């Protein structure tokens, strides 16, 4: 099976066992700590880099709010002057030098945005290229990663990951979904994993999930062409585009209906749900990633007034794991 099982096949079991011994923790350790331990076990220990989405490229940009965007939320970046951004595009997986099409990435990309707000504070937005998530809780995500780690090439069928996927249909659908390779990060749509609560100045609240759509539309290459491209084509092609002009995205919020789950990230809402346009993201300048990478921490809980986290448990789990990874890589 492609995806999570291909990760296990592609990573040597000897490295897995060594990393597992290095990062072994008590079962009562915080969930975020155990998740980072398991990711390090899967991908190997790479000091100074993230446990997941280890390979990335950093850019500066600008957000310009759409007219009327503050009708959804009173967030400061939705009104007034444009807001400077720091944007990090990335590939999933914990191998920092893996080619864009390496099995460990599962062709999942990330787009993390840090808004430099006018009052000197910051707000973060963290999205991935898949609409939805394989599991609904951090505990199940850890169980999935553990199943992957126990499912090497020589493990008899059904492997632990086969068994996990047979009892978790959302995870099976996630890992078997087709994922074409984009021309560049600038041609890739992104989705918010979790729901957030948006409240306007009048006190009206709605729940929604972010969507980030390339203004020029999504653009992909064939699998055959992707296999022939340089290992860093996603970032390199974006940098090449920026030599001509900024690369732009539209920031949207898909608004939940009354019967849509706002606490289960595996539940993808129908495309018929309305969307609200918040504004335009312009990617403008490529930064020296190596110089700025380690100082950046993007947290889905780093929010501004007018936007609150829902009760989706994955939100706090993500924040805990990201903070744990940040602490380890900056030691």
The confidence score (pLDDT) of residue 27 equals 72
Token reading at 198? 């948006």
Structural domain including 141 reads 4-329
Domain count, the chain: 1
Check: CB of residue 313 under 8 Å from CB of residue 291.
Answer: no
Instruction: Report which of residues 153 and 76 the model is more confident about.
Output: 76
- Centre a 10 Å sphere on the Cβ of residue 97 and count the other Cβ atoms it contains: 11
> How many CA atoms within 13 Å lie on the side-chain side of 169?
1
Residues assigned a catalytic role? 53
Residue 34 pLDDT grade (very low, low, confident, very high; cuts 50, 70, 90)? very high
Q: What is the pLDDT of residue 94?
A: 97
CA distances (Å), origin 114, targets 51, 59, 145, 186, 190: 20, 11, 28, 17, 15
Instruction: Assess contact for 43 and 93: CB atoms under 8 A.
Output: yes
Assess contact for 59 and 87: CB atoms under 8 A: yes
Q: What is the pTM of this model?
A: 0.92
Q: What pLDDT, on the 0 to 100 scale, is given for residue 1?
A: 39
The pLDDT value recorded for residue 28 is 83
Distance, CA of 275 to CA of 66 (rounded, Å)? 13
The encoded tokens of residue 313 equal 């448990």
Residue 13 has pLDDT above 90, yes or no: no
Mean pLDDT of 267-271: 97
Q: What is the pLDDT of residues 187-236, one digit of tens each?
A: 999 999 999 999 999 999 999 999 999 999 999 999 999 999 999 999 99
Only one residue has tokens 């249909």, namely 169
CA–CA distance, 168 with 144 (Å, rounded to integer)? 10
- C-alpha dihedral, 138 to 140 to 144 to 149, nearest 10°: 70
The pair phi, psi for residue 255, each rounded to 5°, is: -90, 130
CB 11 within 8 A of CB 43: yes
> Helix (H, G, I), strand (E, B), or coil: what is residue 252?
strand
Q: Residue 170's closest CA among 128, 131, 208?
A: 131
In sequence order, the 6+-apart residues with CB closer than 8 A to the CB of 11 are 42, 43, 44, 104
> What are the respective helix, strand and coil percentages of the chain, to the nearest 5?
35, 25, 45
Please report the pLDDT score of residue 144 as a whole number.
98
Look at residue 220 in the predicted model and tell me its pLDDT. 98
pLDDT of amino acid 26: 54
Distance of CA 35 to the CA centre of its chain: 15
Number of C-beta neighbours around residue 177 at 10 A? 15
Tens-place pLDDT, residues 79-106: 989 999 999 999 999 999 999 999 999 9
pLDDT tens by residue, 276-297 = 999 999 999 999 999 999 899 9
Only one residue has tokens 């309305």, namely 274
- Rounded to whole angstroms, the Cα distance separating 38 from 15 reads 12
pLDDT of residue 2 exceeding 80, the answer is no
What are the counts of helices (DSSP H) followed by strands (DSSP E) for the chain? 10, 12
Q: Identify any residues that bridge with 124 across adjacent strands, giving them in sequence order.
A: 114
Question: Which CATH number do you get for residue 56?
Answer: 2.40.180.10
pLDDT > 70: percent of the chain? 92
pLDDT in tens, 109-159: 999 999 999 999 999 999 999 999 999 999 999 999 999 999 988 999 999
**pLDDT tens string 148-199:** 999 988 999 999 999 999 999 999 999 999 999 999 999 999 999 999 999 9
Could you report the per-residue pLDDT of 242-255, keeping only the tens digit for each? Answer: 999 999 999 999 99
Q: Which two structure tokens, joined as six digits, stand for 122?
A: 């910051």
């Amino acid at each position: 099976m492609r995806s999570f099982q291909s990760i296990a096949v592609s990573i040597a079991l000897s490295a897995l066992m060594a990393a597992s011994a290095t990062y072994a923790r008590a079962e009562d350790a915080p969930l975020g700590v155990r998740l980072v331990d398991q990711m390090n076990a899967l991908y190997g220990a790479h000091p100074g880099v993230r446990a997941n989405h280890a390979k990335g490229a950093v850019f500066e940009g600008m957000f310009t709010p759409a007219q009327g965007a503050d009708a959804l939320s009173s967030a400061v970046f939705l009104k007034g002057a444009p807001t400077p951004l720091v944007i990090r595009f990335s590939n999933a997986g914990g191998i920092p030098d893996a080619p864009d099409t390496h099995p460990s990435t599962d062709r999942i990309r990330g787009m993390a945005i840090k808004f430099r707000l006018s009052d000197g504070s910051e707000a973060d937005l963290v999205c991935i290229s898949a609409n939805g998530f394989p599991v609904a809780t951090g505990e199940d995500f850890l169980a999935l990663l553990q199943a992957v780690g126990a499912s090497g090439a020589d493990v008899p069928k059904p492997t632990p990951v086969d068994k996990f996927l047979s009892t978790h249909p959302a995870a099976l659908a996630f890992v078997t979904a087709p994922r074409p390779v984009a021309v560049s990060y600038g041609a890739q749509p992104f989705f918010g994993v979790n729901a957030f609560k948006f409240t306007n100045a009048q006190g009206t609240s709605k729940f929604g999930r972010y969507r980030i759509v390339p203004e020029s539309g999504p653009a992909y290459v064939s699998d055959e062409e992707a296999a022939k491209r340089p290992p860093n084509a996603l970032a390199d092609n974006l940098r090449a585009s920026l030599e001509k002009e900024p690369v732009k995205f539209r920031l949207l919020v898909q608004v939940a209906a009354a019967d849509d789950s706002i606490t289960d990230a595996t539940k993808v809402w129908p495309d018929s749900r309305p969307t609200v346009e918040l504004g335009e993201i312009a990617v403008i300048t490529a930064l020296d990633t190596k110089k700025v990478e380690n100082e950046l921490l993007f947290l889905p809980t780093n929010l501004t007034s007018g936007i609150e986290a829902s009760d989706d448990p994955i939100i706090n789990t993500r924040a805990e794991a990201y903070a744990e990874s940040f602490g380890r890589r900056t030691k």
